[in-house]
Amino acid sequence: MHPDAAASPPASGRGGPPASGAGRRRLHRDDDGRDALHILPLSILPLGHPGLRRARLIKNVRLETVAEVFNDAQTGSGQITIDQIPLCFGLDADAVARDLHMIRQIAAAASFDIYSLRLELRRLKIDVDEARSLRLSDAKRARLTGYMRVFTRPLIEYVYGTGDAEVTGMDGLLRMFSNPDVAEARRRLQLIADRLDIPVSAIPRFLEDYADVFMSLAYFRQCLDEIVPDVEAFLTWTRELQDSSEVRRDSRRRRMLDDIVRDLTEITTSITGRFESFDLRSRAFWTNINAESFHTIRTLILNHHLTIGGVLCGLAVKMDLWKARFARGGGPVRRMEFIRSEILPGLSQIRAIERSSRAALW
């Protein structure tokens, strides 16, 4: 068993609703995995051995990838290293060599959100059914409707001249534009087609691409909005520790805490600024719509999927464990040990990912 097994946050994390009933447990478990930043159900991968498809890869609090073979409220998360998989499942290593090679390849990803996974799997030439496996659950997509209005309103205004049209989700938006019932809307759709240099019949495909790109941005934005308040609360908790007599007397501990506060503040400020830039550029797209401008913003967002996913995944697993461990407080010694053993490892990795991506945005 991996040493982090007892220390890891619940695997459902920020990924969706918990299981409700034995008959639907597997369905909810798969939905949790597809919606989460730190979970990869191995059922997504084209593995040869069916037993392996019941396990999941997860990122632990040190941002290491481990295999999770069970998870429930009573026993916690059962984690093993990838090298221990054949032994745990009673398999011959030679018989599952191809599966292990594939698992090791994808285990190196910085995040297991579906948008980062799409890019990683294509890069590794691992063939999966993206339409089925690499799609957010219906429940998650519904929860993102509010976030998607930021990106659908300019589109509706452009075509209908008003943002008041009632649309629930991207499927409703696609239906609205597939059969517009206003002559002016038809004229504007033709104008979009002309500016994008595509036939009107290709508009639905453009809308699907538009919806997918901005659904990913809405997904990451929701994750950010959940994580930033947790980071701010953690920083307050850490500053309380800085004021304790135990820390004030120890210059080494003071420096460590100062560095952690500085790094987390830098990371959250930087990634929040990235999203503000995406918002500005998406609005600018509708002021000068053309094939090149859409390609530019689409490429920009896709190029940032891996780094956004990596940063948010790292912050999420650390904040989830902090909340699980310290929901009822904790003394200075216990706090300091937690920061040293669980928050510090991997934090420089998160900072490096964010710093590397910042320059690429401008």
Concatenated DSSP letters of 130-185 = HHHHSS--HHHHHHTHHHHHHHHHHHHHHHHS-S-----HHHHHHHHHHS---HHH
For the record, the structure tokens of 103 come out as 């698992």
pLDDT at 2 over 60: no
Q: Report, in this order, helix, strand and coil percent for the chain, each rounded to 5.
A: 70, 5, 25
Identify each DSSP E strand in the chain by its residue range: 39-41, 56-59, 65-72, 76-80
238 and 124: one domain? no
Token output for 361? 């945005």
Asked if the model's pLDDT at residue 18 lies above 60, the reply is no
Same domain, 223 and 322: yes
| Dihedral angle sign, alpha carbons of residues 139, 142, 146, 150 | positive
Q: What is the pLDDT of residue 13?
A: 42
Contact 235/264 with Cβ under 8 angstroms?
yes
Is the pLDDT score of 17 beyond 50?
Answer: no
185 or 294, which is more confident?
Answer: 294
Residue at 22 is within a domain: yes
Q: Is residue 321 part of a domain?
A: yes
Q: Is the pLDDT score of 337 beyond 80?
A: yes
Number of domains, the chain: 2
Q: Which is more confidently placed, 224 or 292?
A: 224
What's residue 325's pLDDT? Answer: 93
Residues 223 and 343 in one domain: yes
The domain of 47 spans 5-135
Q: Looking at the predicted structure, is the pLDDT value of residue 188 above 70?
A: yes
Whether residue 264 has pLDDT greater than 50? yes
Exposure string of 44-78, with b = 16+ CB inside 10 Å and e = fewer, is bbebebeebbebbbbbbbbbbbbbbbebeeeebbb
Per DSSP, the three-state class of 40 is strand
Q: What is the arithmetic mean of pLDDT over 117-141?
A: 88
Give the model's confidence band at 361: pLDDT under 50 very low, under 70 low, under 90 confident, else very high.
low
Residue 142 is assigned to a structural domain of this protein: no
Is residue 265 scored above 90 in pLDDT? yes
Q: Residue 201 pLDDT more than 50? A: yes
Q: Tell whether 95 and 209 lie within a shared domain.
A: no
From 92, 110, 135, the end of a domain falls on 135
- Which of the residue ranges 119-133, 208-222, 233-247, 267-281 would you say has the lowest mean pLDDT? 119-133
Q: Is 261 contained in some domain? A: yes
Hey, is 31 helix, strand or coil?
Answer: helix
Assess if residue 173 is contained within a domain: no
> End-to-end distance of the chain based on CA atoms, in angstroms?
45
Is 169 within the bounds of a domain? no
* 105 part of a folded domain: yes
Under DSSP, the state recorded for 341 is I
Distances (CA, A) of 280 to 84, 151, 268, 286: 47, 11, 19, 11
More confident residue, 130 or 346: 346
Residue 234 tokens read as 């953690």
Q: Which of 135, 157, 186 is the last residue of a domain?
A: 135
242: pLDDT strictly greater than 80: yes
How high does pLDDT run on average in the chain?
A: 85
Angle at 113 between CA 112 and CA 119, to 5 degrees: 85
Residues 172-196 have a mean pLDDT of: 79
Q: 231 lies in a domain?
A: yes
> Token pair 């938006």 is at which residue?
173
Q: Are 220 and 118 contained in the same domain?
A: no
Q: Please say which residue of 113, 135, 157 terminates a domain.
A: 135
Which comes out higher in pLDDT, residue 311 or 174?
311
User: CA angle, corner 98, sides to 96 and 104, nearest 5?
Assistant: 100
Express as a percent the part of the chain with pLDDT over 90: 50
Report how far residue 145's alpha carbon sits from residue 211's, in angstroms, rounded to the nearest whole number: 11
What is the residue-wise DSSP string for 258-298? HHHHHHHHHHHHHHHHHHHHHHHHHHHHTTS--HHHHHHHH
Q: Is there a single domain that holds both residue 216 and residue 345?
A: yes
